[in-house]
Chains A and B, each alone.
Chain A
Amino acid sequence: MIIKLDNITKIYKSSQFAMVKALRGVSFQVEQGELLSIMGASGSGKSTLLHIIGCLHKPTEGIYHLCSEEISALPDNKLSEIRNTYIGFVFQNFHLLPGYNLIENVELPLIYAGTPEKIRQKKAVELLERVGLKDRIKHTPSELSGGEQQRVAIARALINSPRLILADEPTGNLDSKTCEGILTVFDELHREGITIIMVTHNPLVSSICQRVIRLIDGVISE
């Protein structure tokens, strides 16, 4: 078991007086190697859930175990460390560093892990080769198409050999043909035994998943 969520609640303060209950007691478990998608309408709390799983936010209430470590009690710099060692992120808008070439973008997480430069670059080149961008390594993100940028983002998510990949609408900004390519990459990763959680409202994406969690107004409905 890699993830165990127990009665997770998240309340945002949307203004001085109004509170938004984004999650109202979500509990589920994810096994090592699962390919899982979280679906739901916008505002259903699926992104919030992903942020909590990704250690970007702490739950207001509830207990979250990642790799049998209790996350909800950890300080901020420890959370950064966990993001750095266990988790790879893939975002809808790719979120690559503009002006940095592909190697520099992909090696980014390892900089914060303190990995020596040579090893970082070697690994980055290997991963870029794997996602099919071997001959573009010196290019900057703005010179790439959306699909290519997302491949770079996947390479970046993989460089710290994470146990968990979190993807927030990974195909949301891609046309259906590129989408298929990206999904193939995720599928391969799944076969290698990496746990993947994807937030999406694209049925095509959830179709490759073994398990789908549906959120409605901050509650799981199965």
Chain B
Amino acid sequence: MLNCKDLFKIAKRGLFSNKVRFFLSLIGITIGIAGIVGIITIGEGKKKKVNEFVNRMGADIVTIEGYREADTIKDAGKPLSKSDIAFIKKRCPSIKEIAEISISGTGLEYYIEEIENDENIVSFSEKGVDPTFARVSNIEIIKGRFISEADVRERRKVCAIELTSGIVTQCKRNLKIGDYLTYGPEKIKIIGFVKTKAIFRMLPDELLAYWPISTAEEILIIKQGLIPESIMQTICIQSISPKKTKQLLKEVENAIKQRNEGHIPSNLKPYIYESLVEEGLKEVNRTTLIMLAIALIALIVGGIGIMNVMYISVMERIKEIGIRRAVGAKEIDVILQFLTEALFLCLSGGIIGIFLGLFIAYYFMPFFDIPFVISLPPITAGLFSACIIGLFAGLKPAIKASKLDPVEILR
């Protein structure tokens, strides 16, 4: 039987005997493989983007955004009460921490004390939090301290400021600990500056102030007369590990169902950040689907093209087959020869396709705001599909070649 080296030599020779045809027959496969590689590369980039976002926001957090505009939403449920929260905590074994935050509907205006003119009005969004929030959202204290149990208990008028780029651009002067934010008649003292990992759908330059939840309720509801329904209730539930987040989501959904007669009110629907990003990537998914369709068609057409070329190649070299058989080539030798040619053909197309696919992905991914990463999966998938097509396209012509009668051929 042939050894590998001779097999490759013979196959190479057969292919390069007609160079133009060789390159023309590659086109279909190349486009198909490029499509596959492009799609997987985009998929990998998407995965990376989702992971980055989820890790930034908190991969272990399930969120319920409570009674936002509750009366205008159909099928709205009652806001979660303390006992509801306790129930959730009891029913969900994957819970590590649960934190409640109240956020007012829109950013309310604060004045920075001392310089009370219009130019120093900046808008802060306020979040009333309890101290568990610090643990759930993985708060990093830059300066000062965060809201404590005592702050909540005594309804202290204090706040911690989230350090964002907005602080620098929107405030005329540097805020420091001990400064007051003025909100109507109320003065709220800054006690610390923090950075949080989970930043809750915040715009990059939005200004955030954390108050004790009790203070927020008092000022917003009692003193400002806002109806409770217009205050958003956000519940952050942390799972025991990021891997358990999806399970926790299910548990929380079940708990809410039990409290709401078997269904989840639309305003109490818990979500995880992963599904939030994926929502934003729907457009990309649609585009990849179209690309996939094109790639598959190109692969099938390309594969048939290769099969055709192999049949022609067999017929053209029928005399060569006869001679080889006469001097001792076995059927398997002939099969291997033509199969190797087909594989070589498809792999060449595959390799060009991989480069083309990466190139296309590199140029198009910025449009979708997806990071470009070169990774192993698209390359292996490209090579693998090229091999499969090579086998599929080469086998029948190769078997046909091997079954030819050398006497008939050489007559």
| A residues lining the B interface (CB < 8 Å) | 51, 54, 56-57, 76-77, 80-81, 83-85, 89, 91, 93, 95-97, 99-100, 108-109, 111-114, 117, 156, 160
- Say which residue of B5, B6, B327, B331 sits within 8 Å of A109 (CB atoms): B327
How many residues does chain B have at the interface if contact means C-beta atoms less than 8 Å apart? Answer: 24
Known: A95-B323, A97-B323. Contact between A56 and B406, CB under 8 A? yes
Is B1 touching A56 in the complex (CB atoms < 8 A)?
A: no
Central interface residue in A77, A89, A96, A111, by most chain B CB within 10 Å: A111
Known: A76-B331, A77-B332. Contact between A95 and B326, CB under 8 A? yes
Which of B158-172 touch A at CB < 8 Å?
Answer: none
Q: How far is the CA of A99 from the CA of B18 in the complex (A)?
A: 12
Central interface residue in A57, A80, A99, A114, by most chain B CB within 10 Å: A80
Known: A56-B407, A57-B407, A111-B6. Contact between A81 and B319, CB under 8 A? no
Q: How far is the CA of A215 from the CA of B36 in the complex (A)?
A: 65
The answer, yes or no, to whether B204 is at the interface (CB within 8 Å) is no
Residues in B with CB closer than 8 Å to A81 are 328, 330
Is B320 touching A156 in the complex (CB atoms < 8 A)?
A: no
Is B327 touching A84 in the complex (CB atoms < 8 A)?
A: yes
Residues in B with CB closer than 8 Å to A112 are 1-2, 324, 327-330, 333
Q: How far is the CA of A93 from the CA of B407 in the complex (A)?
A: 13
Is A80 touching B323 in the complex (CB atoms < 8 A)?
A: no
Nearest residue (CB) in A for B17 is A99
The answer, yes or no, to whether B224 is at the interface (CB within 8 Å) is no
Is A108 touching B330 in the complex (CB atoms < 8 A)?
A: no
For this complex, 6 residue pairs linking A to B, each with C-beta atoms less than 8 Å apart, are A85-B328, A96-B323, A112-B324, A112-B329, A112-B330, A117-B6
The answer, yes or no, to whether B325 is at the interface (CB within 8 Å) is yes
Residues in B with CB closer than 8 Å to A117 are 5-6
Minimum CB–CB distance for A101 against chain B, Å = 12
In the complex, the number of residue pairs spanning A and B with C-beta atoms less than 8 Å apart equals: 63
Minimum CB–CB distance for A43 against chain B, Å = 13
- Say which residue of B6, B17, B330, B407 sits within 8 Å of A76 (CB atoms): B330
Interface SS, B side: helix
Which of B308-325 touch A at CB < 8 Å?
Answer: 319-320, 322-325
Nearest residue (CB) in B for A168 is B410
6 closest pairs, A vs B, by CB? Answer: A84-B328, A109-B327, A80-B330, A112-B328, A77-B330, A83-B328
The answer, yes or no, to whether B72 is at the interface (CB within 8 Å) is no
Is B407 touching A113 in the complex (CB atoms < 8 A)?
A: no
Residues in B with CB closer than 8 Å to A57 are 407
Residues in A with CB closer than 8 Å to B323 are 95-97, 108
Residues in A with CB closer than 8 Å to B406 are 56
Residues in B with CB closer than 8 Å to A89 are 326-327
Nearest residue (CB) in A for B5 is A117
Nearest residue (CB) in A for B411 is A47
Q: How far is the CA of A76 from the CA of B324 in the complex (A)?
A: 14
Residues in A with CB closer than 8 Å to B328 are 80-81, 83-85, 109, 112-113, 160
The answer, yes or no, to whether B3 is at the interface (CB within 8 Å) is yes
Is B329 touching A56 in the complex (CB atoms < 8 A)?
A: no
Central interface residue in A56, A57, A109, A113, by most chain B CB within 10 Å: A56
- Say which residue of A83, A93, A113 sits within 8 Å of B326 (CB atoms): A83
Minimum CB–CB distance for B18 against chain A, Å = 11
Q: How far is the CA of A108 from the CA of B328 in the complex (A)?
A: 9
Q: How far is the CA of A140 from the CA of B320 in the complex (A)?
A: 15
Is B330 touching A95 in the complex (CB atoms < 8 A)?
A: no
Nearest residue (CB) in A for B3 is A114
Residues in A with CB closer than 8 Å to B324 are 108, 112
- Say which residue of A76, A95, A111 sits within 8 Å of B319 (CB atoms): A95
Is B410 touching A108 in the complex (CB atoms < 8 A)?
A: no
Minimum CB–CB distance for A158 against chain B, Å = 12
Residues in B with CB closer than 8 Å to A56 are 326, 406-407
Residues in A with CB closer than 8 Å to B330 are 76-77, 80-81, 112
Central interface residue in B319, B330, B332, by most chain A CB within 10 Å: B330
Nearest residue (CB) in B for A88 is B327
Q: How far is the CA of A93 from the CA of B326 in the complex (A)?
A: 14
Q: How far is the CA of A109 from the CA of B5 in the complex (A)?
A: 16
Q: How far is the CA of A25 from the CA of B333 in the complex (A)?
A: 34
Which of B323-352 touch A at CB < 8 Å?
Answer: 323-333
Q: How far is the CA of A10 from the CA of B140 in the complex (A)?
A: 94
